[in-house]
Amino acid sequence: MTPEELPVVGVVCEFGADDHLFDLLVLAGPPVILYLAVAGRSVPSEAAAVLYVCAFLGNVLYRGLAR
Amino acid sequence: MSTQWGTVARDLGRMLQALSGMMFVSVVVPVVWGEYYAVPALVLAGLLPFAVGRSLSWRYRDAPATGKLHGMMIAATGWLLVGAFGSLPFLFVSWTVALDPSVLAAPQMTSTLAAFQNPLNGFFESMSGFTGTGLTMAAHENVLPATLQWWRSFIEWVGGVGVIVLTTAILARPGSGSLTLYESEARSEKIHPSVVSTVRTIWWIFILFTFLSILVLWLAGMPLWDAINHAMTGLATGGFSVTDHSIATYHSALVDFAVIPVMVLGSIAFPVHYLMLQGDLKNLYTDAQTRWVFGFFGLGTLGLAVTLLGNGTYESAFEAVRYGAFQFVSAASCTGFQTAGSLGQTWSPEAQLLVSLGMVVGAAAGSTVGGIKLVRALTLVEGIRFRIRGVFYPESAVRHVRIDGRTLSETEAAHEFEEAAIIAFLWVVFLLVGVFVLLAVLPSGPSGYSLANVLFEVSSAQGNVGLSTGITGAAMSPIIKLMLTFNMWIGRLEIIPVLVLLRRIFNGAGLYA
């Protein structure tokens, strides 16, 4: 079974923008936010948030320049 | 019941069942926050639309497929019905606290929560949420139970997606400025052959942007609960807040400047977002509407900042830019977040007028914003130019017009000018109706409200903005609450679907030949 065959993952991949990183960010959103709720404001939690935002912005720029 | 109404009833039934799903899912919030007294209220609130919705969708399950006319009637009636049923959580939670059954251990009643014992206040709040307006009956949002803070944000968030779906899949027509995903084949490699796939892609983008916005606001310094709620209402350009003074609560320029891009994201047409996420970044400047959004926001910010500095409202240029940028973007994106306190009393009439202009015009069609929409305002300007230039051409001349990146023949252009002019005219008509009613009911004079205040408030309601000069509140007369609710409803639907619905009703009642 591939990840795309899983119920939620499959829907996210099918209706997204044909990019696995964006699909991953959609799936990772709730766990990241849950982590912030549990861990509170700390260096690791802020690093996780910064990583998420940078991953999004970086991928937008990368796809734009690659095109 | 005619087959047309059967189709409408069936689809309304499905909408109500989806609404009940929203309420059942929201039970997580009172459980997490320990507000167990609110759980029965939410469950009961969900059972009612579920029962009505299930009955309707079952009774009319064999009705014909949904067509364009049905779409407009469903949109108009649907927004009204979800507004009505969406008020039930407010009503039931406040009455639970009021009745205070000992087994539920409800907290002390507050005046803010007590306001929702009045069904009309709950209806107003719910319509304000689903239409993405953000005018509120809550005097102090921070004392509301987290359950209702969440419900307000959730209905604005869903309402924001609803309007994108409405304008890109149902109301899309030449001249409306809306680009349907499945009509953008020329710009996109991915073809969406159906409304269903369009809706699912819109949800995908909206959810991604919501997570992104939550993290950006949290990193800027907002507490996580605030970041979650403000990200949802900011992206949906609704403007409900969980704090008493909106974004001004944080007294942080960093938070102000972090919220601005969230509102801008919600102001750009979602088909453009889809293309950008596919790597087509040049749409940020080649797409006419997106260009105009940035231009309008930029010019409006500059104009407002200069006015505020010139009037001495703020002493420093930085403050004038900070508050001017935030408030103009908040107004033009029709979000309604506030950082400048007492807009009605502190800011000069010229500054209020600039903000009003932003509210009335709005931003891109196909986004979550309200207002007339930039593309219609610019279509009207182009129409005037075309007509004046036409005086200098012979009648036999074949002329073309470029609007929103499209080249149109005279006939096509005339159709689009007509559409823009009709919507703008009707917008002004209903705005004036609202102004007239408020002027008739509200006190005037030194201790009352000026015409500028009333015009601002009705513009804010009909443009689905939510900025207030202080008129809106639980103490308003029921006539004004109903009038502003009507303005919010008709503004959200861009007038025509409401008139289509009313015409069908009058036809059915034999009142219209």
Asked whether residue B412 carries a pLDDT value surpassing 70, the answer given is yes
Euclidean distance between CA atoms B28 and B50, whole angstroms: 18
Q: Closest partner residue to B278 among A15, A18, A33, by Cβ?
A: A18
* Alpha carbon separation from B9 to B88, B314, B402, B502 (Å, rounded): 21, 54, 41, 16
pLDDT at B68: 67
Chain centre distance of CA B53? 24
Segment B421-439 shows an average pLDDT of: 90
Q: What is the pLDDT of residue B480?
A: 95
Which range in B147-156, B344-353, B394-403, B417-426 is most confidently predicted, on average pLDDT?
A: B147-156
Of A16, A53, A66, the CB nearest to B212: A53
Report the chain B residue with the minimal C-alpha distance to residue A39.
B224
- Beta-carbon contacts of A17 under 8 Å, excluding residues fewer than 6 positions away, are B204, B205, B274, B277, B278
Q: In a mutagenesis test of the A interface, which of B184, B208, B281 is the best target, namely the one with the most A β-carbons within 10 Å? A: B208
Predicted pLDDT of residue B180: 39
Kindly determine whether residue B204 and residue A15, on different chains, have CB atoms separated by under 8 Å: yes
- Segment B168-177 mean pLDDT: 50
Residue A22 tokens read as: 């964006």
Q: Does an H or E element contain B406, and which?
A: strand B406-409
- What are the Cα distances from residue B461, in Å, to B129, B227, B396, B490? 11, 25, 46, 10
∠ CA B244-B246-B249, rounded to 5°: 75
Q: Positive or negative, the Cα torsion across B239, B242, B246, B248? A: negative
Please give the pLDDT value at position B404.
60
A20-60 pLDDT tens trace: 889 899 999 999 999 999 999 999 999 999 999 999 999 99
What is the nearest CA distance from B88 to chain A, expressed in angstroms? Answer: 28
Contact B168, B202 (CB under 8 A): yes
Locate the DSSP E strands across B72-204: none
Question: B322 versus B5: which is more confidently predicted?
Answer: B322
Q: Is B284 on the interface with A (CB under 8 A)?
A: no
CB contact under 8 A, A16 and B201: yes
Range of weakest confidence among B14-28, B30-44, B167-181, B353-367:
B167-181
Q: Report DSSP letters for B289-317, one per residue.
A: HHHHHHHHHHHHHHHHHHHHHHHTSSSSH
- Whether the CB-CB separation of B180 and B267 falls below 8 Å is answered with no
* Sign of the dihedral through C-alpha B65, B69, B72, B73: negative
**Rounded to whole angstroms, how far apart are CA atoms B332 and B465?**
8
Tell me the two tokens of residue B155.
């209905």
Is the CB of A38 inside 8 Å of chain B's CB atoms?
no
Question: How does pLDDT run across B250-271, given as a tens digit for each residue?
Answer: 999 999 999 999 999 998 888 8
Query: Which one of A33, A50, A53, A63 makes the best mutation probe of the B interface by having the most chain B beta carbons within 10 Å?
Result: A33
pLDDT band at B240 (very low <50, low <70, confident <90, very high): very high
A33 with B215: Cβ contact below 8 A: yes
Q: Chain B interface, mutation test: which of A15, A43, A45, most B Cβ atoms within 10 Å? A: A15
* B81 vs B60: CA distance, rounded Å: 17
Taken as a whole, chain A contains a residue count of: 67
Give me chain B's average pLDDT, please. 84
- CB-CB contact of B208 with B182 (8 Å): no
Residue B179 clears pLDDT 50, i.e. is over it: no
Q: Percent of chain B, pLDDT > 90?
A: 45
ipTM of the complex model: 0.92
Cα angle B198-B200-B203, degrees, rounded to a multiple of 5: 110
Cβ proximity of B231 and B217 under 8 Å: yes
Measure the CA–CA gap between B355 and B328, rounded to whole angstroms. Answer: 6
Asked if B211 and A32 come within 8 Å (Cβ–Cβ), the reply is: yes
Residue B167 has pLDDT above 70, yes or no: no
Residue of A32, A36, A60 with shortest CB distance to B276:
A60
CB contact under 8 A, A12 and B279: no
- Alpha-carbon gap: A3 to the closest alpha carbon of chain B (Å): 17
Task: Kindly state whether A39 is in contact with chain B, defined as any CB-CB distance less than 8 angstroms.
Answer: no
DSSP string, B344-398: HHHS-HHHHHHHHHHHHH-S-TTSS--SS-HHHHHHHHHHHHHHHHHTTS-TT--
Nearest to A22 among B190, B210, B277 (CB): B277
Q: Distance from first CA to last CA of chain A, Å, rounded? A: 32
Split at pLDDT 50, 70, 90, the class of B291 is confident
Q: Does B201 touch chain A (CB under 8 A)?
A: yes
From B318, B302, B284, select the one nearest B358 (Cα to Cα).
B302
When pLDDT is averaged across residues B53-73 and rounded to a whole number, the result is 82
Instruction: Tell whether A58 is within 8 A of chain B (Cβ).
Output: no
pLDDT of residue B186: 33
pLDDT at B502 over 50: yes
- How far apart are the two ends of chain B, measured CA to CA in Å? 20
Whether B218 and B227 have beta carbons less than 8 Å apart is answered as: yes
What's the rounded Cα separation, in Å, for the pair B225 and B242?
9
- pLDDT band for position B130 (cuts 50, 70, 90): very high
Mean pLDDT of B193-205: 76
**Nearest-CA residue of chain B relative to A36?**
B224
Residue B203 has pLDDT above 90, yes or no: no
Provide the 3-class DSSP secondary structure of residue B12.
helix
Question: Average pLDDT in the B220-239 region?
Answer: 96
Q: Which of B18-22, B57-61, B375-379 has the lowest mean pLDDT?
A: B375-379
Question: Quick one: closest CA in B to A45, which residue?
Answer: B219
Q: Where are the alpha helices (H) located in B34-107, listed in sequence order?
A: 38-59, 68-85, 88-99
The per-residue pLDDT for B367 is 65
- The pLDDT score that the predictor gives to residue B356 is 79
B278-290 pLDDT, tens digit per residue, is 888 887 777 877 8
Nearest CA in chain A to B214: A33
Distance CA B324, CA B160 (A): 25
Question: Using the beta-carbon criterion (under 8 Å), do A49 and B280 form an inter-chain contact?
Answer: no
Distance CA A38, CA A36 (A): 5
Asked if A56 and B212 come within 8 Å (Cβ–Cβ), the reply is: yes
Q: Give φ, ψ of B259 to 5 degrees.
A: -75, -30
Is the pTM of the predicted complex or chain greater than 0.95? no
Q: Is the pLDDT of residue A16 over 80?
A: no
- The whole-angstrom separation of Cα B41 and Cα B512 is 42
In the structure encoding, which two tokens stand for residue B203, read together?
């949800």
Does A27 reach chain B within 8 Å, measured CB to CB?
no
Which of B33, B161, B206, B211 best probes binding to A when mutated, by most A CB atoms within 10 angstroms? B211
pLDDT class of B189 with cuts at 50, 70, 90 = very low
Contact flag A64-B281 (C-beta cutoff 8 Å): yes
The mean-pLDDT minimum among A7-21, B178-192, B353-367, B441-455 falls in: B178-192
Q: Which residues pair with B402 in a beta bridge?
A: B407
CB contact under 8 A, B208 and A64: no
Cβ atoms B291, B269 nearer than 8 A? no
What's the pLDDT score for residue B351?
A: 84
Question: In Å, how far is A1's CA from the nearest CA of chain B?
Answer: 23
Report the residue of chain A nearest B221, measured CA to CA.
A41
pLDDT the model gives residue B420: 77
Q: How far is CA A32 from its chain centroid?
A: 9
* Chain B from 171 to 190: CB within 8 A of any A CB: 190
Dihedral, CA of residue B300, residue B306, residue B311 and residue B312, to nearest 10: 120
Task: Say if A66 is an interface residue toward chain B (CB within 8 Å).
Answer: yes
Q: How far apart are CA B157 and CA B236, in angstroms?
A: 5
Contact B260, B325 (CB under 8 A): yes
Q: Identify the band that residue B176 occupies on the pLDDT scale cut at 50, 70 and 90.
A: very low
A60–B201: do the CB atoms touch at under 8 Å?
A: no
